[in-house]
């Protein structure tokens, strides 16, 4: 299956997170590269698409260097590939109501990095 990656960064600066997605399973992994949350807050990953009525939370990015989840399987492949992925700073543990409570500070879009096997 194809592999996709998005570099989540702020205003063209250095990467803060790297998001990878497996097209077949739609599992994703987020790697912290240059970001650290302030005490009492958490980074939360969001899927933003004009095909959805509002941003959808993909969960809190854990304290480890890598966070992996299967949550994208719930979304159509076209949404997954065309969405913007953004990170907000939320209260510790994430958004209490499923809505972002800050402006995204890091964002990016997926690009194909490994084509499907032939």
Q: What is the token pair recorded at 76?
A: 């159509």
Considering its fold, how many domains does the chain have in total?
A: 1
Q: Is the pLDDT of residue 115 over 80?
A: no
Between residues 3 and 13, the one the model is more confident about = 3
For 57-76, b/e burial (b = at least 16 CB within 10 A) is bbbbbeeeeebebeebeebe
Tens-digit pLDDT profile for residues 41-93 = 999 999 999 999 999 999 999 988 999 999 899 999 999 999 999 999 999 99
**H or E element, residue 88:** strand 84-91
Q: Is the pLDDT of residue 13 over 90?
A: no
Q: Is the pLDDT of residue 116 over 80?
A: no
Query: Residue 81: which domain range?
Result: 3-114
d(CA 101, CA 38) in angstroms, rounded, equals: 15
Q: Is the pLDDT of residue 117 over 90?
A: no
φ, ψ for residue 82 (rounded to 5)? -100, -10
What's 87's domain CATH number? Answer: 2.60.40
């Amino acid at each position: 299956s194809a592999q996709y990656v998005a570099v989540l960064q702020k205003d063209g600066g250095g990467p803060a997170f790297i998001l990878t997605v497996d097209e077949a399973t739609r599992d994703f992994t987020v790697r912290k590269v240059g970001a650290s949350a302030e005490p009492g807050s958490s980074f939360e990953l969001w899927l933003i698409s004009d095909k959805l009525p509002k941003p959808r939370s993909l969960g809190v990015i854990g304290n480890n260097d890598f966070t992996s989840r299967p949550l994208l399987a719930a979304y159509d492949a076209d949404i997954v590939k065309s969405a913007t992925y953004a990170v907000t700073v939320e209260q510790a543990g994430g958004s209490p109501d499923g809505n972002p409570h800050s402006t995204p500070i890091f964002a990016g879009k997926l690009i194909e990095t490994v084509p499907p096997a032939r």
